[in-house]
């Protein structure tokens, strides 16, 4: 049988059309997480850009990252440490600085993460990328801002007479756990805010309630020493656990020694919150770009 050059150019089986994919559709979770990881450079760049954008119009620039929590600590120290001095815990200045600095990381991650999708509607509707990158970038931004705050906090505690110890290195894993916890919380809040926009009006109220009830400027153990039920409940509050662990690491005083199980509790909360946040956010991936 004789074949022509024309026959040789025709493939034996012509390839079929490629399957169509839904724009903005939700991929399987493993593929989705790989897409988020592949955009880690974008997440880091977005976090750095937002830090620069927030401070470029201020004369003091990045100094406000540290000045703001210091001013808050000074204000709360004056109100609760001087005007309401009765019953304040020992080493009150260090106690308050640690509480305010850690709470700043928590509160800004929560409130900014909650608005990460609604504040970037144009970006979400115009580009195809895993939407999880936006709340994660917000928490990365707050982590980058927390690092200099952490350094100032350590210097302040040392300057106030607490000896520097090897145990202070435990702040590194504690910060990592706190980052995971804040990321999971930001993912949950970001989805809820998309579905119920009214929640944005409740965010300041929620953070204020958290501030006044989790022992930022008073010792829960001292205040409720005669109420074991309250102490037991407080031991399972994640933010209280992180604050107690940080104070136990930095403050050289048996009164602030953190129970060993708090590390187990904080680890469990961080992992559980991250897993829940990832699943909760990913399950609504197809809805974030909708206008209805």
Answer whether residue 158 is part of any domain: yes
Specify the 3-state DSSP secondary structure of 105: helix
Residue whose token pair is 């906090």: 153
Tell me the C-alpha distance between 204 and 112, whole Å.
11
Answer whether residue 59 is part of any domain: yes
Answer whether residue 22 is part of any domain: no
Which one-letter DSSP state was computed for residue 10? S
Query: For 174-208, what is each residue's pLDDT tens digit?
Result: 999 999 999 999 999 999 998 888 788 888 888 88
Answer whether residue 196 is part of any domain: yes
Contact 250, 94 (CB under 8 A): yes
Is the confidence at residue 273, as pLDDT, over 90? yes
Query: For 83-93, what is each residue's pLDDT tens digit?
Result: 455 557 778 88
Which one-letter DSSP state was computed for residue 281? H
Query: For 118-129, what is each residue's pLDDT tens digit?
Result: 888 888 878 778
Answer whether residue 96 is part of any domain: yes
Tell me the C-alpha distance between 259 and 277, whole Å.
27
Write down how long the chain is: 292
Share of the chain above pLDDT 70, in %: 78
Query: For 215-271, what is each residue's pLDDT tens digit?
Result: 888 888 888 888 888 888 888 889 999 999 999 999 988 888 888 899 999 999 999
Answer whether residue 224 is part of any domain: yes
Split into its structural domains, the chain has a count of 1
Nearest residue to 106 via CA among 199, 246, 201, 239: 239
Answer whether residue 181 is part of any domain: yes
Tell me the C-alpha distance between 242 and 36, whole Å.
28
Tell me the C-alpha distance between 148 and 63, whole Å.
10
Q: How many Å from the N-terminal Cα to the C-terminal Cα in the chain?
A: 64
Q: Which domain holds residue 114?
A: 27-281
Residue whose token pair is 């970037």: 120
Answer whether residue 135 is part of any domain: yes
């Amino acid at each position: 049988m004789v074949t022509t050059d024309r026959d040789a150019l025709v493939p034996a089986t012509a390839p079929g059309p490629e399957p169509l994919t839904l724009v903005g559709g939700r991929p399987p979770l493993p593929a989705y997480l790989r897409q988020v990881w592949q955009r880690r450079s974008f997440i880091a760049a977005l976090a750095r850009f937002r830090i620069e954008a927030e401070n470029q119009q201020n004369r003091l620039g990045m100094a406000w990252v540290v000045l703001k929590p210091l001013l808050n600590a000074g204000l709360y120290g004056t109100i609760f440490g001087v005007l309401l001095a009765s019953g304040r815990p020992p080493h009150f200045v260090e106690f308050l600085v640690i509480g305010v600095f850690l709470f700043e990381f928590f509160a800004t991650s929560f409130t900014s993460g909650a608005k990460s999708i609604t504040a970037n509607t144009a970006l979400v509707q115009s580009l195809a990328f895993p939407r999880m990158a936006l709340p994660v970038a917000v928490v990365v931004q707050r982590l980058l801002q927390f690092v200099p705050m952490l350094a100032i906090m350590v210097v302040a505690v040392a300057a106030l007479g607490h000896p520097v110890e090897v145990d202070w290195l435990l702040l590194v894993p504690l910060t990592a756990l706190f980052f995971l916890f804040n990321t999971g919380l930001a993912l949950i809040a970001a989805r809820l805010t998309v579905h119920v926009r009214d929640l944005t009006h409740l965010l300041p109220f929620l953070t204020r309630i958290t501030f006044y009830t989790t022992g930022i400027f008073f010792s829960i153990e001292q205040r409720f020493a005669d109420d074991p039920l309250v102490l037991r409940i407080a031991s399972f509050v994640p933010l209280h656990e992180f604050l107690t662990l940080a104070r136990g690491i930095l403050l050289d005083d048996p009164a602030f020694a953190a129970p060993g199980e708090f590390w187990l509790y904080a680890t469990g909360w961080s992992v559980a919150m991250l897993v829940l946040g990832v699943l909760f956010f990913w399950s609504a991936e197809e809805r974030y770009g909708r206008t209805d």
